C-alpha cells in the first residue's frame, strides 16, 4: 500500500467511525465530530503526500487545505467544509464550557467530512490514472 493509500485508509476509517458512532450512540457526539476533523486532516495530508510533500505535524486543516490548493487548486471548493470541522480538533475534546455538540452539528460535520473525503479520493484516483 502506498503512503497516499495509507493516509486515505486512515481517513476512511475515521469517517466510518464517525458514521457508526453517530448511528448507534448519540451520547458520543463529541467523539463523532473529532473523527470528522481527523477524516479531513488525513485526506488533506494524502493530497500533500501525493504531491511529494511531507505533511507537517499539524491539526490545522485550514492551513493544510491552503497548502493542498497550491497543488490542486480545485480543492478550494472544500473551504466551507474544512472551516466547519476545523475547531473539532480540540473543541469538545477537553472539559470546558461545551462538552458535546448537538445532533445537527454532528450531522453537518459528517456531511462535511464525507464531502472532503470523496472529492479528495476521486481527485487522487483521477490523477493516478493519468
Q: pLDDT tens digits for the chain (130 residues)?
A: 899 999 999 999 999 999 999 999 999 999 999 999 999 999 999 999 999 999 989 999 999 999 999 999 999 999 999 999 999 998 898 888 789 999 999 999 999 999 999 999 999 988 766 5
Quote the crossing angle between the two packed helices 103-129 and 3-24, to the nearest 10°: 160
What domains can be seen in the chain, in order of their start residue? 3-129 (1.20.120.330)
Q: Is 28 exposed, middle or buried (0-12, 13-18, 19+ CB in 10 A)?
A: middle
Helix, strand, or coil (residue 76)? helix
Amino acid at each position: 500500500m502506498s503512503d497516499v493509500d495509507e493516509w486515505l485508509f486512515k481517513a476512511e476509517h475515521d469517517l466510518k467511525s464517525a458514521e457508526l458512532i453517530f448511528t448507534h450512540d448519540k451520547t458520543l457526539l463529541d467523539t463523532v465530530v473529532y473523527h470528522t476533523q481527523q477524516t479531513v486532516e488525513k485526506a488533506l495530508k494524502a493530497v500533500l503526500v501525493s504531491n511529494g510533500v511531507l505533511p507537517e505535524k499539524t491539526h490545522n486543516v485550514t492551513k493544510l487545505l491552503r497548502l493542498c490548493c497550491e497543488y490542486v487548486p480545485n480543492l478550494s471548493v472544500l473551504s466551507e467544509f474544512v472551516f466547519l470541522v476545523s475547531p473539532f480538533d480540540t473543541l469538545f475534546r477537553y472539559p470546558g464550557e461545551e462538552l458535546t455538540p448537538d445532533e445537527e452539528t454532528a450531522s453537518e460535520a459528517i456531511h462535511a467530512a464525507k464531502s472532503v473525503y470523496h472529492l479528495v479520493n476521486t481527485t487522487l484516483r483521477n490523477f493516478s490514472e493519468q
